[in-house]
Amino acid sequence: MRPSTGSPGALQSVIADQLDLSGLEGETLLVVACSGGTDSVALAHAVGVRRSLVIAHIDHGLREASSRREECRCVDRLGEILSVPVLRRTVPPGEIAGRAGEAGRSLEEVARDERYRLLLDILGQIAEERGVNPVLLTAHHRQDQLETFVMRAFSGRSPLGALGIPRERWLSGPRGERLPRFRVLRPLLECPRRDLVAYVRHQKLPCVHDPTNDDLHHLRNRVRLRALPLLEELFSPSDLSLRVSSFLGELDLLREGLRALIPHDAWGDFGTDRWSLDTGVFHALPRAARELVLRDAVYRLASGDRVSFRPFQRLVAGEGPVESAGLVASFRKGRLEIRQAVVRPVSIGYLWVVDTELRLRLVCEGVSAIRIGEEPAARGGWHLGPVVPPVVVRPRRRGDRVLHRGKKREVARLLEAPEVSSLIRGCAPVVEDREGVLALLGRGDPLCIRDGVRYTRDTHARPPGFITLGVAYEEAENYAERE
């Protein structure tokens, strides 16, 4: 039987019990992601009255300036009440909406990705400054679990994948970044939202209402405001969420049991950038076991945490090849192989892949002729990001465009600016990631960078999600004489 969280003391005790069950030591530094809304305010206070913590606040830049200021004041006030620090990251207004439109993704999805990227940045700052690995707490509760289940179950998600919100996960940066992984816990998953609302009222805590939670353009809001009330007419709200929570727990047990039955040699062999398994061993497994093995390989090799397994379902049936999520999978020479689709640096062409750091020497032999090679000297460098790997340095192509100052602009036009020399105009390479052109490499600073991307001199520590580039231009003697 689940413990009641109906009183303030009970909620604090239940959260403390959940943290104990997670194996946290008493001195572990906790960071609570707080938006200023009821749920995260209740979590931060219920944790903060019993142990020290840091509040992490992300201003997504999605609302009116007055609403955003009110949200910041609310979070700051909560920090004062608990006598704990508040660390904040701010997204420029309109940036997330513009990025969603350019990429053809939902505003909710892009905002979520940016939120976790910035939370990772805060965790990295704390780890560097305090010399400890903090644990992040988020305020997902029982109704969030129900909404997530409905969305995923009716979108065709496989029961062998996650149909609900896991109690914990690991948060890490893009593949190739030498960053620590941070643990994320959700201690409120068994708590109904009404108890969180009652807690905030009883404690007279500051909180704000986010009007985007009422916007029916977002799928989660349509599920919460339209679909769930229909289900709750048939089942009581508490019974419904409890049944879904119980069902998800049983699914977890089934998956764990199936994983335990898979032979050790059937999990395949991992290298630094690939995985492989004998096709005979793979096809001898039951279909559900084949899917679990593939999921394990894909999620361990793919970059980021938003990876769709759906394209790789073809491999379960013995079909291929498949190319998705920065991976290439195929059956070849008696083995099923999945490898990261990253090209190694070559200078014929030219194409150089940037893992985390690359220093180049560019020798211009004419208005558009260039030789490129690695530059061992660490000079003239800067950090650029955030990036979406893989990142490459390549020649400029006709039709290259970059999102710059709110518009998609032709790179060739940007190079026509009078302050750009003919040498740089002809030779400036392009830095590109999975989302398109990141920047143009100039003699010193970047000539232009994509909206939402920043750069800083490499005299500072490289921020999470950034790459380090160093560029040294040279002119071949005969070219300098002609000019």
Binding-site positions for ATP read 35-40
Cβ count near 386 (within 10 Å): 22
Beta bridge partners of 273: none
Q: How far is CA 249 from the centre of its chain?
A: 26
Task: Name residue 478's amino acid.
Answer: N
Encoding tokens for residue 299? 């999620």
Burial class (CB within 10 angstroms; exposed 0-12, middle 13-18, buried 19+) of 109 = middle
Residue type, 351: L
Alpha-carbon separation of residue 465 from 93, 384, 449 (angstroms)? 21, 9, 16
Give the number of other Cβ atoms within 10 Å of residue 113's Cβ: 19
Tell me which H or E stretch contains 171: strand 168-171
* Cβ-contact 372, 352 below 8 angstroms: yes
Residue 54 CA to residue 44 CA, distance in Å, equals 9
Q: What is the DSSP string of 40-86?
A: HHHHHHHHHTTS-EEEEEEE-S-S-HHHHHHHHHHHHHHHHHHT--E
366, 376, 347, 367: which is closest to 477 by C-alpha? 366
Phi, psi of 39 (to 5 degrees): -65, -50
> CB under 8 Å, gap of 24 or more: what pairs does 473-481 form?
473/362, 473/364, 473/423, 473/424, 473/427, 473/443, 474/361, 474/362, 474/363, 474/364, 475/363, 475/364, 475/423, 476/363, 476/364, 476/365, 476/366, 478/365, 479/364, 479/365, 479/366, 479/423
To which residue do tokens 């059956």 refer? 331
Amino acid at 101: G
Nearest partner of 360 among 368, 351, 369, judged by Cα: 351
Nearby residues of 465 by Cβ (< 8 Å), 6 or more positions away? 117, 120, 121, 173, 174, 177, 385, 386, 387
CB 394 within 8 A of CB 353: no
Which residue ranges are tagged as binding site? 35-40
